[in-house]
Amino acid sequence: MSILEALVLATILFGFFGIILKKNLIMKILSMDVMSTGVIGYFVLVASQRGLFTPIANQKEAVAYADPVPQAVILTAIVIGFSIQALMLVGVMKLSRDTPTLEVSEIEKHYTP
């Protein structure tokens, strides 16, 4: 395992433990964003192992090309992740109007039937 792979996996773990251990909703959303950034970084790392050059048809020499399909999937994942994060932040804003705190335990006490 290379150092870059270890750093990317550490980023995923930091985000995962942030989601589990943090009690503030804003911190949970930011931790989810850190974890998704790590996952995207891991996909980019795996996709770039075969080659780094773009597949252009007019090149005469044979070089190792990067696969363009994972790049398109990653761009889609970035856009979807951004929209989900924006939607969660809007939900937290609406929740903060009703509740004076964003701590999960206090919100659960307030809304428990």
Whole-number Å distance between alpha carbons of 11 and 46: 16
- CA–chain centroid gap for 107, Å, is 26
Non-local CB neighbours of 48 within 8 Å, separated by 6+ positions: 66
CB hemisphere CA count around 15 (13 angstroms): 18
**Tens place of pLDDT per residue across the chain (113 aa):** 789 899 999 999 999 999 999 999 999 999 999 999 999 999 888 877 766 667 676 667 777 777 778 778 889 999 999 999 999 999 999 988 888 888 888 888 877 76
Residue type at 53? F
pTM above 0.85, yes or no: no
Q: How far apart are CA 91 and CA 59, in angstroms?
A: 50
Could you give the domains of the chain?
3-111 (1.10.287.3510)
